[in-house]
Structure 1
Amino acid sequence: MKSKTSLPVSYRLAVTSRVLAAVVGGYLMASLASICLALWLPTSRADAVIVGMMSSFVFYLLAVLWCFACRTAGRAWLGVMAPCVLFATLAGAGWWVARP
């Protein structure tokens, strides 16, 4: 019988971290980008929400591609969380501006 060589635990944890960054971080980034677009687009509220929701698929795709194109899992997390901070800041500012 041939013995199967197993992948190292560090490699498995790095891949797991990238998957979590892609799934969780990508969802967070896509939802925050959608909120930002809905708040800041100079169109009617309904059109802005539709454009924001449709573009969230593109942001999610970009996050997933980024997570698996990076050299390290830390850079993948940083590349997803940095836009999340920016989008959260813009969404908060848009909420304060749009508040009656």
Structure 2
Amino acid sequence: MKSKTALPVSYRLGVTSRVLAAVVGGYLMAALASICLALWTPTARADAVITGMMSSFVFYLLAVLWCFACRNAARAWLGVMVPSVAFAALAGVGWWMART
């Protein structure tokens, strides 16, 4: 028996996509931000790592808030992946500079 208040499949898929963007994309963005801060903070190595790790919670929170504040799931994914790519590029440059 089908309920009259059943939500459409497109709505359910949109919410599922936002949840995945928040959980997976937010974790990726927070991890890359943490690495960037650890590489680019001009303090002792241990202090830089702690600063990066503690600030990753803020980045994760911002990613989750962003994913559920957007009008559609595509914008949520875009808003998480663009900063992730930027953080990955900065981490790569920082790692390359530290090796030379």
Give CA-to-partner distance per residue, 1:4-31, whole Å, 9 cap, x none.
Answer: 4210000000000000000000000000
CA distance in 2, matches of 1:5, 1:66: 28
Q: Which runs of 4+ in 1 moved over 2 A?
A: none
Name the counterpart of 1:57. 57
Q: RMSD of the TM alignment (CA)? A: 1.2
Normalization by structure 1: what TM-score? 0.96
CA distance in 2, matches of 1:99, 1:40: 14
Q: CA deviation at 1:47?
A: 0.2
Name the counterpart of 1:66. 66
Alignment of 1:32 onto 2:32: yes
Q: Which structure 2 residue ranges, 5 or more long, are not aligned?
A: none
Name the counterpart of 2:87. 87
Number of positions where the alignment pairs a residue of Structure 1 with one of Structure 2: 99
CA distance in 1, matches of 2:69, 2:5: 26
Name the counterpart of 1:17. 17
Say which SS state the counterpart of residue 65 (structure 2) adopts.
Answer: helix
Q: Which structure 1 residue ranges, 5 or more long, are not aligned?
A: none
User: Identity over aligned residues, as a percent?
Assistant: 85
